[in-house]
Amino acid sequence: MLRLDALSKIYADGTEALQSVSLELGAGEIVALVGGSGCGKTTLLRLIAGLDTPSSGIIHVGSEEVRGPHAAVGIVFQEPRLLPWLTVAGNIGFGLEQLTTRERQSRIDHALDKVGLATYGGRWPRELSGGQQQRIAIARAFVTMPKVLLLDEPFSALDAFTRKSLHAHLLALWQETRPTILMVTHDVEEAITLADRVVVMRPHPGRLLETISVNQPRPRDVLAVGFDKVKRRTLHALDRSLQPEKQSAQAQGSDEFSHWW
């Protein structure tokens, strides 16, 4: 569904943010992208969303090449980015102008219901908590029914409890239309809870280091033995991604922290 071929990005100031990144995501697959700060995760999502152009390489969504913002690609940013002059309902329906009023309204209502904010449609964004705003941002991306959905650390500003409940809302929405999801996260547990595969990146320049299949039944149980095994592997890969190059990987017992930045 989403195919990246040898993507590179060199910014105008010479920063080599990405070097030859290739990755393929199947339809309905959820892939989590983890890696140290500055390894090009946001850059990668912005290229796929068509907000920036790659220096070289090609992006395909389905059979179409991405050359700019694409109808089949949606994105949720790290901040909610709601438009303050639109109500909650207006924000969710922002990308649905071309629909009839009735159809738009029914999609908005349905999405509001799915994110557990059914009665909030008439409120202003400023009247919502940060977690509620982020739920609206996710709903806004889902209602246009994109085939590919990009999430850039959508929950990083939220506390652990809110985050857990948002995972459930995200999966509930995903169940309906099953978009392909590529999500960036700093939280290894979050990555393994949600994703089919975890891709570990390495900085300077940004490259893919390792892909780890999760292969656990949903809903995932953080306490399951299998979960823990995948988590160890991921943390191990992250350790290696942060070490200077050439130096071979030494196993370091760093299992205990899942926030490693």
Ligand X SMILES: Nc1ncnc2c1ncn2[C@@H]1O[C@H](COP(=O)(O)OP(=O)(O)OP(=O)(O)O)[C@@H](O)[C@H]1O
Written in H, E and C, the secondary structure of the chain is CEEEEEEEEECCCCCEEEEEEEEEECCCCEEEEECCCCCCHHHHHHHHCCCCCCCEEEEEECCEECCCCCCCEEEECCCCCCCCCCCHHHHHHHHHCCCCHHHHHHHHHHHHHHCCCHHHCCCCHHHCCHHHHHHHHHHHHHHCCCCEEEEECCCCCCCHHHHHHHHHHHHHHHHHHCCEEEEECCEHHHHHHHCCEEEEEECCCEEEEEEEECCCCCCCCCCCHHHHHHHHHHHHHHHHHHCCCCCCCCCCCCCCCCECC
- Tell me the window of 39-47, 59-67, 83-91, 139-147 that interacts with ligand X (CB under 6 A): 39-47
Which span sits near Mg ion by CB under 5 A: 18-26, 37-45, 126-134, 173-181?
Answer: 37-45
Residue 77 site contact among ligand X, Mg ion, other proteins, none (CB < 5 to 8 Å, cut-off depends on kind) = other proteins
Query: Binding mask 98-137 vs other proteins (x if CB under 8 A, - otherwise)?
Result: --------------------------x-x-----------
Site string (207-236) toward other proteins, x via CB under 8 A = ------------------------------
Q: At closest approach, how far in Å is the CB of 66 from ligand X?
A: 17
Answer yes or no whether residue 69 interacts with other proteins by CB under 8 A: yes
Asked if residue 234 binds ligand X (CB under 6 A), the reply is no
Query: What minimum distance in Å lies between the beta carbon of 38 and other proteins?
Result: 20
Q: Among 24, 26, 27, 38, which residue interacts with ligand X (rule: CB under 6 A)?
A: 38
Q: Which is nearer to other proteins, 86 or 242 (CB)?
A: 86
Is position 37 an interface residue for ligand X (rule: CB under 6 A)? yes
Number of alpha carbons in the 13 Å side-chain half-sphere of residue 210: 16
Selected binder of other proteins within 3, 60, 81, 164 (CB under 8 A)? 81
- The DSSP H or E segment spanning 231 is helix 225-242
Select the residue interacting with ligand X from 4, 7, 41, 76 (CB under 6 A): 41
Cβ(25)–Cβ(2) below 8 Å: yes
> Considering the complex, what minimum distance in angstroms separates the CB of residue 48 from ligand X?
12
Q: How far is the CB of 42 from ligand X (least distance, A)?
A: 3
Instruction: Return the one option of other proteins, ligand X, Mg ion, none that residue 84 interacts with (CB less than 5 to 8 A, by type).
Output: other proteins
